[in-house]
Amino acid sequence: MTQDIFKIYLDRLRLVPQQEIQGSVNPDFLEVADGRLFFRELIEIKGSAYLADDHLILHLDVTTSYISFCKICNEEIATPFLLEGLYITEDFEKGALKEYDFRTPLRDAILLEIPLYTECQGSCPQRASLKEYFKQSV
């Protein structure tokens, strides 16, 4: 499966008002390997790229879901992920940039949106029993 969706060719982009970006990519490019976070669905990317003077601007919607684990009971939690209206911008000197790969900035933007800790249903049902446990053990 090609991941060329990440590549923006500046020469091509200069000829058109904007370039549509649309596709699904394998989540492998996120390179998440801490064992607490998993992406099992394709990452849907939809948006456009355009030039404004010396700036390349990408405007994207990103949709997928991720698996994390409850910090209390360690249950698996599947959370839908939607990042709407993400802007990625890159400044460059005229003619200096031939192509731009937005894989890394997109990866950073996605991972930044994911909370460090999750808990089932916003408040884990196990909390109460854990509290009880802590009380007894004191």
Smallest separation, CB 58 to Zn ion (Å):
37
Token readout for 61 is: 């919607």
CB-wise, 5 or 73, nearer to Zn ion?
73
Smallest separation, CB 73 to Zn ion (Å):
3
Interface positions with Zn ion (CB under 5 A): 70, 72-73, 75, 120, 124
CB-wise, 89 or 123, nearer to Zn ion?
123
Amino acid identity, position 83: L
Smallest separation, CB 39 to Zn ion (Å):
21
Contacts 24+ apart (CB under 8 A), 38-43: 38/66, 38/67, 38/68, 39/64, 39/65, 39/66, 39/67, 40/65, 40/67, 41/65, 43/110
Amino acid identity, position 2: T
CB-wise, 111 or 128, nearer to Zn ion?
128
